[in-house]
A = this chain, B = another copy of it.
Amino acid sequence: MKVGILGYGNLGRGVEYAVEKNDDMELVGVFTRRDPGSVSVRSGAKTYHVDDLPNMKDDIDVLIICGGSATDLPEMTPKYAGMFNVIDSFDTHARIPEHFSNVDEAAKKAGKIGIISCGWDPGMFSLNRLYSMSVLPGGKDYTFWGKGVSQGHSDAIRRIEGVKDARQYTVPVPAALDAVRSGQNPELTTRQKHTRECFVVAEDGADQEAIRQAIVTMPNYFADYDTTVTFISEEEMKRDHSGLPHGGSVIYTGETGEGNKHVIEYKLNLDSNPEFTGSVLAAYARAAYRMNKNGESGARTVFDIAPVMISPLSGDEIRAHYL
């Protein structure tokens, strides 16, 4: 199975590692909007300009698109679904129906498969919401994120005047987690579910109190949360905050019979958010390839894909060893 990677940021690098771990996959090349000569690819795979893609339709079985959800993917995924089997990690929840429909149209026209919104949330978390809800209808689902780095929130802090660098951790509130796990079905406000911990490197002479105020009052990002701001040095930032850990829990509570309670929890504890997301993309790229070989076309999500399709093993092997 020949794989192309479009975009070589953190996620593209994560996919590159994942492709190496899967014996049935081969990395054809990394595609970039930059000058290909300027991009140094860790594995030594070939680099190409994105404009070379239309000439490589026969060389790539699945193109894994590693772009941003805000502007890249809404344009890129439908475009390349017209040429290749594609997969992306589109995560703007409100725009998923529109994105699905655009990819579906392009993929059907080209006779290709386009898998959207794949990763861990949306992705593995979504699967667990759906499985639980289907098994225990009428229950309640909770999603907690963290402890982990939110890149969007870190970027928002970096845009404040006087800020040199910043890292924001989303942290679930332990008391809220405990209440949900105990099956109490609490109603929780935004503030009760998560806190936000910010580590900031300020520019020399910057007004730290003004920066702190700008963060904690920022609408949408911080105003609805209990937010702590800690100023650190550049050295401390590099030493203590260079990783991109993340994770969280989907917890579902439901009842059966005469008041019997059930709690289902799916929990991720990830050292590297982009490498785990890249691993999910690689596994589902396998499904895109297989479904297309079976003659299917159009857009798909993790919900539409039988688990056996993402495994390198045969049905016989899986039933014998994993059932």
- Roughly how many angstroms separate A304 CA and B323 CA in the complex, as a whole number? 11
The verdict on A21 contacting chain B, using a C-beta distance below 8 Å, is yes
**Contact pattern, A 122-139, Cβ under 8 Å of B = 1, otherwise 0:** 101011111101111110
On whether the beta carbons of B307 and A303 are closer than 8 Å, the reply is: yes
**Given A260-B275, A312-B137, does the pair A130, B307 have CB atoms closer than 8 Å?**
yes
Chain B contacts of A318 at CB under 8 A?
130, 303
Query: Which of B136, B265, B305, B320 meets A279, CB within 8 Å?
Result: B136
Q: Choose among B127, B276, B319 the residue that contacts A100 (Cβ–Cβ < 8 A).
A: B319
* Inter-subunit contact A135/B280 (CB<8 Å): yes
Task: Among A136, A305, A307, find the residue whose CB has the most chain B CB atoms closer than 10 A.
Answer: A307
Q: Does A240 contact B (CB under 8 A)?
A: no
Q: Is the CB of B133 within 8 A of A311?
A: yes
The answer to whether A275 and B257 have CB atoms under 8 Å apart is yes
Question: Does A315 have its Cβ within 8 Å of any Cβ on chain B?
Answer: yes
**CB neighbors of B among A12-63 (8 A):** 13-14, 17-18, 21-22
**Dominant SS among interface residues on chain A:** helix
Is A217 among interface residues, defined by CB-CB distance under 8 A?
no
Q: Interface size bucket, A side?
A: 35 or more
A229 an interface residue at 8 Å Cβ cutoff?
Answer: no
Q: Does A301 contact B (CB under 8 A)?
A: yes
Measured CB to CB, the nearest residue on chain B to A299 is: B319
Q: How far is the CB of A120 from chain B (nearest CB, A)?
A: 9
Contact B264 A267 (CB under 8 A): yes
Smallest CB gap from A22: residue in B: B137
Within 8 A of B (CB), among A289-323: 301-308, 310-312, 315-316, 318-320, 322-323
In the complex, besides A96-B319, A131-B310, A304-B307, 9 extra interface pairs with C-beta distance below 8 angstroms are A21-B256, A117-B323, A137-B312, A181-B269, A256-B276, A266-B266, A303-B318, A304-B308, A305-B307
Q: List 25 A-B contacts (CB under 8 A).
A: A14-B257, A21-B137, A93-B323, A117-B323, A122-B323, A127-B307, A128-B266, A129-B322, A130-B311, A130-B318, A134-B307, A243-B260, A257-B275, A261-B271, A262-B269, A264-B267, A266-B266, A266-B267, A267-B267, A303-B306, A303-B307, A303-B318, A304-B306, A304-B308, A305-B307
